[in-house]
Structure 1
Amino acid sequence: GWWRDPRLDTFSWLTDWAGDLDARHERYNRGVEPFLKRWRDRLPAEIRQLVLNLRPVYREVVAELVEAPETLIHTDLHLDNIAFDGSNAATVIDWQGISRGPAAIDLAAFLSASLDSDTRRATESDLLRVYHELLIAHGVTDYSHDQLWRDYRLALLCILANIVNWLGSVNLDNLAGRELALTRAFIDDDWFFSTVMDNRAGELLAR
């Protein structure tokens, strides 16, 4: 695997997931008002408040998450980017966002976008436990289950920030088919927002 692999620093084409923290923070702050103006009435009140609460501390949230061990991450992991062939094998496609960064980004993206809320609530704890057990089985010795869960919650906040920037600026008239359906699903299905709320991610902002 690529967990803490020193080769991650040798690939000139492999970007750092976090990038420039100040620029990332500024971009989020610019995106908040357009996002809320467009979607406010369709958001849970808790999410509306969290979007605002994240504004002054988003940089610190990202800074804490990038202290996690680095690995190779996809950054857009969901079922539409996984191909199944009828066996137990799966092929992950669409690697245009490949980066080096915390594994919790892919974990949070996949669980929040690929499972309906009832299924996720019934399986999330077990899936996180099994994920951590597999890390240990593959030789990871310096990453506790508690740290994984904290990083998972931090990753949800970072994904929320990305969604704010995306849904605040996307031109829905230019989308069609599956792309339009996926975009609307973030608001209409409420899968992601319920994941954020169920995991009490906003409590991490009370520093």
Structure 2
Amino acid sequence: MMMIKIYKKCQLLVRIIIIVITFLISNNCNAENGYEVITNKIESLGKNKIEVIEFLSYMCHHCTAIENILNQWQSSLTSDVTLIKIPVSCNKKSEELQKLYLTINELNKPHLHSELFYMFGNKKKSIKQVKDLTWWLNSKNINTNEFLELYNSFHIYSKSNRANQLARLYEIKGVPTFIIGGKYITSPAMAGDDYECTIKTIDHLIEKLRKE
């Protein structure tokens, strides 16, 4: 009987320790340190707004994980802040997906990004050519011929080049990476490998820019 009581007390103690550790971890976000200052000045894409740029890729698991959190955050942004999502590529495979992302944007169907993130980021689906996605395009009532014409257009080619040029100018070494006001850079890796802390860091930098 005594052993049972001791065992139950130990169980209770372990649960308390777990709760405390979880609380400490969830509150271990130092938004004032999870970023760096960008040394090279680059012309802003937006006007009269605090610009938050996310460099991303469908192939990135962390981009997939933070997507829903970021979309919720975006829906609460004030009018002086804008979020710009820029897909980047580093090889032929990621180039196909970069152009796919840009084409989906041009078709004004951003709600499809979450599904594509899940397909390529979580399910690790691989494609050699975007035309292999005909089945998916048809399921979304997207005209395949029109889609491929836009996908292979000079307009999308130019947007891809501009995206990669910006990534080089900002010296982006991994995704997702966020540029705030063209002056500060942060990422989940810099913010303690925590997505919520990444958002808090971005909010901190937005307030910092407002005061500068």
> Whose radius of gyration is greater, 1 or 2?
2
Determine if the TM-score, normalized by the shorter chain, exceeds 0.5: no
TM-score (norm 2): 0.25
Structure having the larger proportion of residues in helix: 1
Higher RCO structure, 1 or 2 (CA under 8 Å, sep 6+): 2
